[in-house]
Chain A
Amino acid sequence: MARRKAEPPPLEPGIQPWLLAAALITAAPHAGHLPVWISALAGLLLLWRAWLWHGQLALPSRPLRFLLVAGGVGGIALEFGTLFGRDAGVALLALFMAMKPMEARNRRDALVIVMLGYFLLLTHYFHSESIATGLWLLAAATFLTATLIRLHGGARPPREIVREAALIVLQALPVMLILFLLFPRVAGPLWGLPQDAHAGRTGLSDNMAPGSLSELIQSGSIAFRVQFSGTIPPMAERYWRGPVLTDYDGRTWRTGSSAVPADSAPRIVAEGRHVDYVSTLEGHNQHWLLALDLPLALPPDSALSPRLETLAREPVRKRGRYAFTSSTTFRANLEESPALLAEALRLPPALNPRTRALAEGWRDLPPERIAKSALAHFRSEPFYYTLRPPLLGQHAMDEFLFRTRRGFCEHYASAFVFLMRAAGVPARVVAGYQGGELNPVDGFLIVRQSDAHAWAEIWLDGRGWVRVDPTAAVAPSRIEEGIAAALPEGEPLPIFARIDAGWLLQMRHRWEAVNNAWNQWVLGYNPQRQQEFLSRLGLHDADWRSMTVALTLLCAAVMLLLTGWVLYRRPRVDPVQRAWLRLCRRLAGQGVARHPWEGPADLAARVARESPEWGALAAEAARCYTALRYGHLEEAARTEQLRRLQTLARRLPIRWRMP
């Protein structure tokens, strides 16, 4: 194709730092999750470009640029095996963002960089939806807008440009808020996230081997937050029930695998006060929801299993809100199915002879007495509560009960259940969380991974399943005050669980309250919350049509308000200036556009040179305008001159020219 158009004017050098900074700001947060070589290459390219700009050196030649692009694209194809899809696409975008400044010669290239920047901002939400990300992206969007202003508005002090951009973004905020609140929501994320997006989350697992729980306790991350609608049950009653572990192979406890008859639906008789609460559960990739022992009413799409676990239909992949009603005193399954009772008595053969012998001695006692004897054993012997128990061999229970006597809740729970089963009492291990800490700032109860716990429950004829916590026999403070109080000094624990008072605790509470508000109201704003919000506004059962109408009307109202404000604030243009500006616009239509810094006499002289047919008119108009604006005239003369100027402006034909 023949190049008929002239080269567009080159960018002024002062714009390049803006473009480089825009590329850096928009691409930088990706550095954490892109392959190292891409981050390094992008960083080097930007540095190189900055160096070229600083030394006012020539940009790389076309073949070199082609090589760079081909190498980058080839590398990405090798790295990801494809050029499509989320990760490869983001990598391509980030790399192109770093390469584009290499050929930024004219305004079009600069616009491409800015638009690419706006697009790249969106991709950060693939990886993080935190407050910090949101703030960074807001700042980056402001900077991109400032770059646009710099591009079109010429050189000005950077502070002024950024201030103007911030003002523009500020004016966009009401519209953003309306769109956020009223745009019809769909359930679930807009794009399908790959399964592995949730890998590596910490949380309870469906089995328990010695050491697995004490590892979890090292994590200070939040498991879930609870908002109670009434008084909060005391710490010692806050058992958050997770998976029930019944199958034991001598080393590991697993969730029950035996088939359960269809008629064994749970039957719970609540005895105490009902507790209503909403739990915001972090994604953990498992089915169970952590309900206060025991739940009476469950959130939708979940059910109580025969073993009294609250299971969601889909694994909990992302943070969600679940409403429960529980009762902390209850009778559960007074009549239990034989299959489940048999399951709760099964033991691996030929292991732990001493433990079995101890339990055999209790067989003739009534079941309650057996449990009491076991707890008395824990209490009377020198057992020691620690996160760092010694390793146990083949006969783990024997070694723990009679030799090491050092262990953690998982040891006590499993030894207790073993003893019960050996003595003929149906028993099983329950994993979950115990306790939780109240954030006084927003009134949410925060349960961390460090609150993970394991306890036991036994089935008694006439009383159903009864919770027994052998850890309470050894370290009562674990149940009444929390993990930090129960552990001696020097045990490894997340720093957060150790802080007991002072400003650091205050700050942590505040920060977690802010984070929680963000989760509850921004990230957790799903269709239900939208409906709740709208019905609070008086818009009941709003469907997407009425939402769209409300959305459109509100946006229009905001635009009208802003426009009105701008018009109100606009300085009153005096008629002289209006007539002169109209004349200048029409002169521009004739090919002589006034420069902003050009005075009337200079303009008239230029018109005479460049467009002689209007020279006389421009000279006279300049004389009128000069007298009106820079001289001092009597009122009558003023009116006459103004009329003359207006006539001259009208005499020029209107012609629309593309700028």
Chain B
Amino acid sequence: MPPSPASPHARSPLADVLAAASTVVLGKEHQIRLALACLLARGHLLIEDLPGVGKTTLAHTLAHLLGLQFSRIQFTSDMLPADIVGISIFEREHSRFRFLPGPVFSQLVLADEINRATPKTQSALLEAMEERQITVEGETRALPEPFFVIATQNPSYQIGTFPLPESQLDRFLLRIELGYPDRAAERALLESGGRRPQAHAVGARLAAERLPGLQAQAAAVHVSPALLDYVQALIEATRDNPAFAHGLSPRAALALLAAARAWAFIDGRALVLPEDVQAVLPGVACHRLRLVHSGSLARPADIAALLHAVPIP
């Protein structure tokens, strides 16, 4: 969609972050914006794409730009839940147990190739995402604030992978695909010899303490009754459409609204437009809708067709 011509009078502090990220991850402004919106809406992000298109780079860049404490978990099939949440060890000199926090105790967690781990390990992470706290041996420990998980997953079927079931996919606010860079971006990438060093070199553009405030502001963006009408029309359209096995749930509708608010906030607006909903709908809906005829998840093209079938009230 064309860039929104909304008023620039309240230039968002996030515009800086966006601009800087675009210099690292080339040609993916829309996806960066979606990732940022996901973070602002206090959701978690699932990136699904082939290896080597820049998933990890994007996660690194965001962590650095926002000044977030970062950790990365490479999922493997022999991984145990304790490898994520941490373990208690017995210290002989103090004669007591001490908890060694796992990598999940971090503000931005990159869960790489999440579908390689067993369902048990996957659900340990997904529970942490949902509860924002972890209970180990009867003791509940809060996760840092903000807490943001970017999980990546290879779309192609491979032996020894455990694709996330729908109920787990639902924990992710947005799901995006990066795709191949366009010709110009790829040329720049080749000339610079890869973007990973830049990702580590960028400095923070925002203090991590400011993030909760921004999230609160994003959640307060105004939603008018007319916009709710539109959101409801879209949700009903997914339920009436015979192409989809099930429609979107009320939780998905809430996710759509939260993402649209964050999108409008990044644009510097205090109100949500139908265009904001349209921009985030593929990210919200694709992993929550299953096609009847092929049994696979919906493609962005299906969502585009759905959008064109629903007039804005």
Contact (Cβ within 8 A) B311 A600:
no
Pick from A595, A597, A601: contact of B4, CB under 8 Å? A601
A596 at the interface (CB under 8 A from B): yes
Mark contacts of A528-543 with chain B using CB atoms, 8 A cut-off: 1 yes-contact digit, 0 otherwise: 0000000000000000
Q: Is the CB of B273 within 8 A of A605?
A: no
Q: Is the CB of A597 within 8 A of B310?
A: yes
| In-complex Cβ contact of B224 among A595, A604, A606, A631 (8 A) | A631
Residue of A nearest to B272 (CB): A630
Please tell me if the beta carbons of A157 and B240 are within 8 angstroms of each other in the complex. yes
Contacts of A600 on B, CB cut-off 8 Å?
273-274
A323 at the interface (CB under 8 A from B): no
Please count how many residues in chain A sit with their CB below 8 Å of the partner chain's CB atoms. 27
Complex interface: stretch among A458-466, A516-524, A554-562, A619-627? A619-627
In the bound complex, residues from chain A placing their C-beta under 8 Å from that of B312 are 596-599
Bound Cα distance A599, B313 (Å): 10
Q: Are B6 and A601 in contact (CB under 8 A)?
A: yes
Instruction: Give the shortest distance, in Å, between B68 (CB) and chain A (any CB).
Output: 31
Whether A157 contacts B242 by the Cβ 8 Å rule is yes
CB distance from B250 to the nearest CB of A (A): 21
Contacts of A623 in B (CB 8 A): 7
**Cα distance A630–B312 when bound, in Å?**
12
Bound Cα distance A597, B272 (Å): 16
B265-313 contacts to A, CB under 8 A, are 270-275, 278, 307-312
Q: Within 8 Å of chain B (Cβ to Cβ): is A297?
A: no
B242: A residues at CB distance < 8 A: 157
In the bound complex, CA of A622 to CA of B273 (Å): 11
A154 CB–B CB distance under 8 Å:
yes
- Contacting A601 at CB < 8 Å: which of B5, B227, B240? B5
CB distance from A623 to the nearest CB of B (A): 7
CB within 8 A of B5: which of A156, A605, A630, A631? Answer: A605
Name the residue of chain A whose CB is nearest to the CB of B306: A597
Q: Considering the chains assembled together, what is the distance between the CA atoms of A609 and B270 in angstroms?
A: 26
Q: B2 near A: Cβ within 8 Å?
A: yes
B72 CB–A CB distance under 8 Å: no
Whether, in the assembled complex, B132 has its beta carbon less than 8 Å from a beta carbon of chain A, the answer is no
A600 to B224, CA, bound (A): 15
Q: Which of A156, A157, A596, A629 interacts with B226 by CB under 8 Å?
A: A629
Known: A629-B224, A632-B222. A605 touches B2 (CB 8 A): yes
Bound-complex Cα distance A598 to B311 (A): 8
- B1-57: which residues lie under 8 A (CB-CB) from chain A? 1-7
For the complex, give the distance between the alpha carbons of A627 and B271 in Å: 8
Given contacts A157-B240, A605-B5, contact A596 B311 (CB under 8 A): yes
Greatest chain A CB density within 10 A among B240, B273, B309 is at B273
Query: When A619-B5, A623-B7, A626-B273 are in contact, do A597 and B311 touch as well, CB less than 8 Å?
Result: yes
Q: How far is the CB of A570 from chain B (nearest CB, A)?
A: 14
Distance of A598 Cα from B307 Cα, bound (Å)? 9
With a 10 A CB-CB cut-off, give which of B3, B240, B275, B278 has the most chain A CB atoms: B275
Flag B70-96 by CB within 8 Å of A: 1 or 0 each.
000000000000000000000000000
For B1, list chain A residues within 8 Å (CB). 602
Chain B residues within an 8 Å CB radius of A595: 308
Residues of B within 8 A of A597 (CB): 278, 307-312
Nearest-Cβ distance from residue B224 to partner chain A, whole angstroms: 5
**Docked-complex contact B226 and A630, CB < 8 angstroms:** yes
Q: A601-B4, A631-B222 are in contact. Are A155 and B273 (CB under 8 A)?
A: no
With A and B bound together, what is the CA distance between A601 and B6 in angstroms? 7
Name the residue on B nearest A598 (C-beta). B312
A630, B227: Cβ atoms under 8 Å? yes
Q: Which of A597, A598, A600, A629 has the most CB of B within 10 A?
A: A597
Contact code string A443-485 (vs B, CB < 8 Å = 1, else 0) = 0000000000000000000000000000000000000000000
B270 lies within 8 A of A631 (CB)? yes
- Give the chain B neighbours of A632 by CB distance below 8 A: 222, 224, 271
Cβ contacts A604-645/B at 8 Å (1 or 0 each): 111011000000000100110011011110000000000000
A605 to B242, CA, bound (A): 33
In angstroms, how far is the closest chain A Cβ from the Cβ of B132? 31
In the complex, what distance in Å separates the CA atom of A631 from the CA atom of B311? Answer: 20
Chain B residues with CB under 8 A of A629: 224, 226
* Chain B residues within 8 Å of A599, by CB: 273-275, 278, 312
A539 to chain B, nearest CB (A): 49
Most buried by B among A155, A595, A599: A599
Q: How far is the CB of B306 from chain A (nearest CB, A)?
A: 10
**Across the interface, which residues of B come within 8 angstroms of A156, CB to CB?**
309
A157 to B272, CA, bound (A): 29
A604 touches B271 (CB 8 A): no
Cβ B5 vs Cβ A604 within 8 A: yes
Interface string of B96-114 (1 = CB under 8 A from A): 0000000000000000000
Closest to A631 in B: B271
Q: How far is the CA of A304 from the CA of B222 in the complex (A)?
A: 92
Nearest-neighbour CB distance to chain B for A163, whole angstroms, equals 12
Shortest beta-carbon distance, A609 to chain B, in Å? 8
A593 to chain B, nearest CB (A): 13
B-contact bits for A254-283, CB 8 A (1 contact / 0 none): 000000000000000000000000000000
CA gap between A606 and B310 in the complex, in Å: 19
Residue of B with least CB distance to A155 = B309
Chain A residues, CB < 8 A from B310: 597
Q: Which residues of B contact A155 (CB under 8 A)?
A: 309
Which residue on chain A has the smallest CB distance to residue B230? A599
The distance from the CB of B105 to the nearest CB of chain A, in whole angstroms, is 40
Give the residue of B2, B7, B270 whose beta carbon is less than 8 angstroms from that of A602: B2
Q: Which residues of B contact A631 (CB under 8 A)?
A: 222, 224, 270-271
Q: Would A606 and B311 count as touching, CB distance under 8 A?
A: no
By beta carbon, the residue of chain A nearest B264 is: A630
- What sequence of 0s and 1s flags, for each residue 220-231 of chain A, a beta carbon within 8 Å of any chain B beta carbon? 000000000000
- For residue B241, which residues in chain A have a CB less than 8 angstroms away from its CB? 157
Chain B, residue nearest A615 (CB): B5
Identify the closest chain B residue to A158 (Cβ): B242
CB nearest to A574 among chain B residues: B226
Chain A positions 145-198 with a Cβ under 8 Å from a chain B Cβ: 154-157, 160
Taking the nearest CB of chain A, how far is it from the CB of B265, in angstroms?
14
Closest 7 CB pairs of A and B: A596-B311, A599-B274, A605-B2, A631-B271, A599-B275, A630-B224, A630-B271
Pairs A–B under 8 Å by Cβ, sample size 9: A157-B242, A597-B308, A597-B309, A602-B1, A608-B5, A626-B271, A630-B222, A630-B272, A631-B224
Given contacts A602-B2, A630-B271, A632-B271, 7 further A-B contacts (CB under 8 A): A595-B308, A598-B312, A599-B273, A601-B273, A605-B4, A629-B224, A630-B227
